[in-house]
Structure formats: structure tokens, C-alpha cells
Structure 1
Amino acid sequence: MHDWWNSSHTDKAHVLVEVERAKGAEQFNPDRFELLIGMLFGLANDGLVDKKGRPFPIQAAVIARDFADVIVFTQPPPAFQRVALGIVAPLGHLLSYRAIIPGYCKPHARVTPAPEVLAAAGLATN
């Protein structure tokens, strides 16, 4: 389990994320997680999130249901999620909400980090 947030007092955060396929999870496509993150960043860049950076509920339901293969939310309880997503996600699709918006599928600044940034993060620089 984990959570992401910007703990600085600025509006900007530089994020370094490396996604690898876990042992025993060969059936899962790590590119789907990258696509999910791209969608969330795209929504945020367009101001389509709340003050905490979360998609609004109908959009969140559509995304959560369509990306259930790569993300599991810890709250609310799973039984509530199944019922809520079973109702809200189809409604969202009827209202033209989509889990994948093509304009958000482009890279959001994929770069090779500077060696000093990797070293500061405690990562190998080779």
C-alpha cells in the first residue's frame, strides 16, 4: 500500500517513477499502470481534479473500474466499491466519461534523470 502527495510548500513536484513487472505477475502489463498515471496527470493538468488532486467521483469510478487490473483502492471497503462502481461507472460511461482519454496518453515528460538526482534518491547511477 502507498499514497502519493507533494509535501513541499510549492505547486510543483518532480516525480521519478520506475515501473517493473513483479515476479509472479507476468500476466499483468506494466504499461497499463503507466497509462493510468498518465490519465491522472492529464486530468490534473486540465484542472479536472479536486483540491487533493483526485478525479471527481464519476470520473474516478470510471477509471477505477476500467483500471481494476492495475490498481486496488483500500477505501472504501471492497464490498462497497463493487456495488458503487457497478452503478456509478456505467452511469459515467453514459454521461461520456472515459477511463482513457487519448490526449492524455502521450508521455508527460519521460526523461533520463540526472545522475545526481538518482544518487540523492539512493538509486544506482549505472
Structure 2
Amino acid sequence: MAFLPKVLLLLMLAVVCVQMSGVLAEIPVRCQCVVKLKKAVRKESIEEFTILPRTSKCNEVEIILTLKSANNTTSEDNKRCLNPQTIQGQNLQSCWKSKNTNNAKTLKMSDCPMSQNPKA
């Protein structure tokens, strides 16, 4: 009978470890944006975007755009980083702050009708 509490404790510990490994996997170890676009991207070309705040691992705000798919491209091929200091970057950050109330990982470009981008 003393065996059952030990097994349950070990099982609970394993569940906690698995849960923690998922949390730790989402923490970047460095900046994800090495090269940043300095020119605006046409709003019609952007499907969604993500804004990563400054962290202890990356001292810069990062804006990751997911462009609409072209033929035979993977989602990773469609990712571009935008310089957050550009007008478009500032507009996207404003939209993110006002629209991302549920802490979603991404926002659809259609959620930001007010962020008018300069012509690219």
C-alpha cells in the first residue's frame, strides 16, 4: 500500500515537468529578427503579424510579419521582420496595444483597419 502514494507523487512530478518544458520552450534565447525591413510592406500582402516585446534575452521590440502565401512556399518562407521604428512599425504597435486585449500570439491584418501603410 505504501507503493501507491509514491507512484502518484512520481506521476504528478512527471506531469509538472512536462508542463514546465512547454512553458520554457516559448522563451526565446536571443532576438528572432536578425534582418529587419526598413521599407513598408503593402498591407494587402500581410496576412498577420506578431509583436514581441523587449526581454532580458532581446533588448529590441520585434515585429514579425506573416505574408500571404505564394505558390509552393512554407509559412517560414513567408515571415519577415519589420523595423519597429518605421511608420508602419509604429502603426502596427499601436494597433497591437489597442486590439490585442486577450494576449493572442498573432493579430490578423484585417484587425487593424486604421493602420494605413505608406505605399511600398
With structure 2 as the length reference, what TM-score do the two structures score? 0.24
Q: Which has the larger share of strand?
A: 2
Specify the structure having the higher radius of gyration (Cα): 2
Q: Which has the larger share of helix?
A: 1
With structure 1 as the length reference, what TM-score do the two structures score? 0.23
